Structure 1
Amino acid sequence: MPRRRPRALRAEHQVSRIWGPAPPFRIHGLSAGASLAVCRVEFLSGSFYIRPGATEQALRRYRDFLQPLGRRPLYPQEAACPCPGCAFDDVRYARDVLEEVLERLPARARAELGRLVKPLDAVFLRRTLPDPFTHRRQWRTQFWWYRRLADRSEWG
């Protein structure tokens, strides 16, 4: 029986101090390095809403909202519950999560995730309608995705 090399033996028993025995999962569309950077940001974030797996869930929710083909406008719905699990019912919250993760990422990973989000933003702008009463609202947001018409069925 051949002898196993010491490097192979050490690799079997290597446990990361941050991730534990299982490595973080890879986000569809991102490289392994960018996925690792996103997982690191999610794990080390002190935010209540950013937790491990939130970026993948936000990307999936954003894509699913824009998925129905056609030319009819889409209207984001308010989330019925503000808890982290139910908040993803509102696609604008998913975009908030993506924005916060983008702000915290290093430059290379930010650019890579930005290349995934930018075409989705263009479709969101094209498929949603601007809110004509944004300037009259008591609360004003700095994010453009809240200045679109909402509160109706997502499917038209």
Structure 2
Amino acid sequence: MWADAVADALARFEWAFKQPGRYLNASQVWQPGLEVEYARDDLEEAMLHLPRGARRDIGRQIARIDDEFERRTLPPDPGPVSERTVGGWWWSRIRER
């Protein structure tokens, strides 16, 4: 993890959630290759390395992010699991209709 990984990940979600529309647009990303799913991966990784108090604080922010991400995405299509969905549940969500 780099020094500002958590701040960068939180900024990516803040940017994504400010985008208009009910659903997150899969074509709009913070920068090419930096989808919010990668930001969520970074937050998950950071949780493994933070002290208990910081982990609790960031955990509350992550819970709010997860709620909003789930609200602004659709459940996954039933079917075969792709390589990407092997990670966190957020990779299986559909970002637009």
Q: TM-score range by the shorter chain?
A: 0.7 to 0.9
Q: Which has the higher contact order (CA 8 A, sep 6+)?
A: 2
TM-score (norm 2): 0.79
Match of 1:73 among 23, 32, 35: 23
- Whether contact under 8 Å (1:131, 1:147) holds in the other structure is yes
Instruction: Determine the structure 2 residue equivalent to 1:92.
Output: 37
Residue 57 of structure 2 is aligned to residue 112 of structure 1: yes
The unaligned stretches of length 5 or more in structure 1 are: 1-49, 80-84
Larger radius of gyration: 1
1:122-133 correspondence runs (5 A): 122-133=67-78
Would you tell me which structure has more helix in proportion to its own residues?
A: 2
- Whether contact under 8 Å (1:76, 1:91) holds in the other structure is no
- Whether contact under 8 Å (1:74, 1:127) holds in the other structure is yes
Q: Using the alignment, how far apart are the partners of 2:56 and 2:44 within structure 1?
A: 12
The unaligned stretches of length 5 or more in structure 2 are: none
Match of 1:137 among 71, 75, 81: 81
Structure 1 residue 62: Cα displacement: 1.0
Q: Using the alignment, how far apart are the partners of 2:35 and 2:51 within structure 1?
A: 27
Number of positions where the alignment pairs a residue of Structure 1 with one of Structure 2: 95
1:1-156 correspondence runs (5 A): 50-68=1-19, 70=21, 72-77=22-27, 87=33, 89-133=34-78, 135-139=79-83, 140-150=85-95
TM-score (norm 1): 0.52
SS in 1 for 2:2: coil
Q: Using the alignment, how far apart are the partners of 1:138 and 1:114 within structure 2?
A: 27
